[in-house]
Amino acid sequence: LKALSAYQQLAERHARLSRLGYFHQLSEWDQRTHMPPAGAATKARAHSELASLLHGLATDPGLDDLLARTRDEALDDWQRANVQEIQRRRALSRELPAALVSRHQIAVGTCNAAWMPARRSNDWPAFAATLAPVVAVLREEALCQGEALGVSRYDALLQRWERGTTTARLRRLFAQVSGWLPEMVQHALARQRDEVVLVPTGPFPVAEQAALCQRIMFALGLDPASARLDVSPHPFVTSGSPQDVRLTNRYDEAALMPALRSLVHEAGHGSYRQGSPAEWAEQPLGEPASAAMDEGQALFFERHIGMRPAFSTWLAPQLGQAFGDQPAFDAENLARLALRVRPGKLRTAADELTYPAHVILRFEIERALIDGEIEVADIPAWWDEHMRRLLGIDTRGDFRDGPLQDMHWPDGGFGYFPSYLLGAMTAAQLAASAERDLGSLDGHIAQGDFAPITGWLGNQVWSQASRFEPDELLQRCTGSTLDPEFLRRHLAQRYLGRAPSTTPKAVNP
Ligand SMILES: [Zn+2]
């Protein structure tokens, strides 16, 4: 029998990490869907134990020898890219002391458990006391990794979500958006001032909402044998493999449309997982190309499928069937409702035009926090100042719909928020290319025939998983690297009814 090559041994080592990581993910999913609240401390300790074990495997010195030996082996492009990604991750995990890895899990577990009750009672001080240790741990991690990479603390954390991205690049990209967005918001608000829009009136029983959401997610292409839908306070997707894709959603008896919008978004994440190559499921290369590419798929579904008038045409009769007819279920009304611009406090409820402001606000705050320019106690004041400046909204005293609204910080997910705006740019760029290749998507969507669109995304993006860096992947399927001009054109067309040609084409960052 031939001895295993260094590559095969390396891949097997990573498969072990991935299999143990599966239980880590499953337990995260359990915490947010089924676990009784008092179970949090036990779960945090179990996570800490598992994280230490995973860290030990990821930093085993034997890996260096295997990595070195793969250099002399004949590998195909996928295998070579897989080795590079294993090496990149190894270099990052090696910088983290084992004690810090356990502290991370305990701090995050405690803060997570405190988050929901604090949010319910608008209790910022109670939450802040548990967030401070999370920030302290993340700063230490960022310092260790940043020193090794020769980058700032926040830039080090960005590497967890967007390979190669820097604060400077984000500032450049976001500055372009901030340059044209405020005026566009004002124009859109003026255009919509006299528009009559009916909001569907409930109650909408939760069980019926969930059943409808499940029908929609399967209609969008998720496979009932491999995907399921549960309830959690903050919608998300977790996936152990392309055959095990778990979506969650939240429901409000009084409002129907937010749940439908979240569902379509999460279905985009789920489809990316389901469409990734099964044979790479236990390797880094089988994962999404980046958090922005992942959000890009979700936002493609949400904005370039779900928010089109054609989708309302398809949806309207189903709403009548599920909840009884009402004038608000008229397809044209639903289409207007989907595109209604209203500056508000909540990111997840934000319309497409004011959404970037919510991301830029979080980016500015978390960067300053991780780089040590501000402390946890400063967050509410910064929040209020940015909300006033960007959206003209006073948030004083409202922590619940202020800095307590997201689960990213209690989760330790600093550096993730920028991915939403990069994702919006990615989605607009992919949608422009999909229309170039397929013609208008509207006819398919109005018929509920999503297969041509998901087929296109599957070929171009999902099946490629992490084979290419995000910019190279975009270059291959759209002809250019990430370019915010696509987002501007899309928004101008949708909200101003035209694509203004006065703005010069943005220079590629
Ligand atoms: Zn998302």
Q: Are 471 and 486 in contact (CB under 8 A)?
A: no
Query: 427 C-alpha vs ligand 1 centroid, how far in Å?
Result: 12
Query: 271 C-alpha vs ligand 1 centroid, how far in Å?
Result: 12
Query: 294 C-alpha vs ligand 1 centroid, how far in Å?
Result: 7
Q: Which residues pair with 237 in a beta bridge?
A: 247
Query: 350 C-alpha vs ligand 1 centroid, how far in Å?
Result: 13
Query: 416 C-alpha vs ligand 1 centroid, how far in Å?
Result: 10
Give SS3 for 449: coil
Please tell me the predicted confidence (pLDDT) of residue 1.
Answer: 62
Residues 6+ apart with CB under 8 A from 195: 336, 340
Please tell me the predicted confidence (pLDDT) of residue 502.
Answer: 42
Q: Which residues pair with 230 in a beta bridge?
A: 248
Query: 296 C-alpha vs ligand 1 centroid, how far in Å?
Result: 8
Query: 138 C-alpha vs ligand 1 centroid, how far in Å?
Result: 22
Query: 372 C-alpha vs ligand 1 centroid, how far in Å?
Result: 28
Q: How many CA within 13 A on the CB side of residue 136? A: 11
Query: 35 C-alpha vs ligand 1 centroid, how far in Å?
Result: 23
Tens of pLDDT, residue by residue over 79-93, are 999 999 999 999 998
Query: 59 C-alpha vs ligand 1 centroid, how far in Å?
Result: 30
> What gap in Å lies between CA 409 and CA 48, rounded to an integer?
18
Please tell me the predicted confidence (pLDDT) of residue 234.
Answer: 87
> What gap in Å lies between CA 330 and CA 311, rounded to an integer?
12
> What gap in Å lies between CA 283 and CA 276, rounded to an integer?
12
> What gap in Å lies between CA 305 and CA 472, rounded to an integer?
25
Q: Are 85 and 466 in contact (CB under 8 A)?
A: yes
Per DSSP, helices labelled H in 327-417 are: 331-338, 355-370, 379-391
Query: 482 C-alpha vs ligand 1 centroid, how far in Å?
Result: 18
Tens of pLDDT, residue by residue over 162-218, are 999 999 999 999 999 999 999 999 999 999 999 999 999 999 999 999 999 999 999
Please tell me the predicted confidence (pLDDT) of residue 3.
Answer: 85
For 175, the token pair is: 């500055």
Query: 406 C-alpha vs ligand 1 centroid, how far in Å?
Result: 12
Query: 31 C-alpha vs ligand 1 centroid, how far in Å?
Result: 19
Please tell me the predicted confidence (pLDDT) of residue 506.
Answer: 42
Query: 298 C-alpha vs ligand 1 centroid, how far in Å?
Result: 6
Query: 74 C-alpha vs ligand 1 centroid, how far in Å?
Result: 38
Please tell me the predicted confidence (pLDDT) of residue 48.
Answer: 86
Please tell me the predicted confidence (pLDDT) of residue 507.
Answer: 39
Q: What is the pTM (predicted TM-score) of this model?
A: 0.94
Query: 383 C-alpha vs ligand 1 centroid, how far in Å?
Result: 22
> What gap in Å lies between CA 63 and CA 87, rounded to an integer?
9
Q: Which residues of the chain have pLDDT under 50?
A: 500-509
Q: Are strands 237-241 and 244-249 parallel, antiparallel or unpaired?
A: antiparallel
Please tell me the predicted confidence (pLDDT) of residue 37.
Answer: 86
Query: 299 C-alpha vs ligand 1 centroid, how far in Å?
Result: 7
> For residue 304, which of 496, 437, 491 has the smallest C-alpha distance?
491
> What gap in Å lies between CA 268 and CA 271, rounded to an integer?
5
Complete DSSP assignment for 38-89: GGHHHHHHHHHHHHHHHHHHHT-THHHHHHHHHTTS---HHHHHHHHHHHHH
